[in-house]
Amino acid sequence: MKSKYTGGCKCGNITYVVNGEVQWKVSCHCNWCQTTSGAAFRTFVLFNESDLEISGDTFKSYEDRKTEHGRPMINQFCSRCGTQLGIKVPSMDTRHIALGTLDQRKEIAVKDNIWWQESFDFVSFPNNSDVYKTGYWNGTGERILKS
């Protein structure tokens, strides 16, 4: 039986159901995530696009084609309450759902971290974390700390 996750934005305008397994979980400490969220880092749970069912309003999208790290990114949020629901990376067939929008968020442990080199000095990493100096997916990810 497939796992089922649910979630949505703060105002309830957008809800989603995920009928499938988590593909990856990661906190991203890059400059782009800091700016687009206004926070120190963003934590995402990746699901296959085909497992995601969105109800209510659609995700409002802002496509950034000229990102610092050369990878187009689409920031996705609720147009009514501004909740950051996640991002879509056009070259990937998964969707990055923002951890904080999942109803099951407290049950999901995240130990991978990317873009350590752009992280804030006040952010510390638990001993069992995996921390990568830059991105992970492009094959250049250099692991700097490991459990």
Interface residue list for Zn ion (CB under 5 A): 9, 11, 13, 28, 30, 33, 78, 80-81
State the minimum distance, in angstroms, from the CB of residue 57 to Zn ion: 7
Least Å distance, CB 50 to Zn ion, is 24
Taking residue 147's Cβ as centre, other Cβ atoms within 10 Å add up to 9
Tokens representing residue 84 in the block: 């950051």
Distance CA 62, CA 133 (A): 27
Least distance in angstroms from the C-beta of 141 to Zn ion: 13
Please give the biggest Cα pair distance in the chain.
Answer: 42
The upper half-sphere exposure of residue 143, i.e. CA atoms within 13 Å in the direction of its Cβ, equals 7
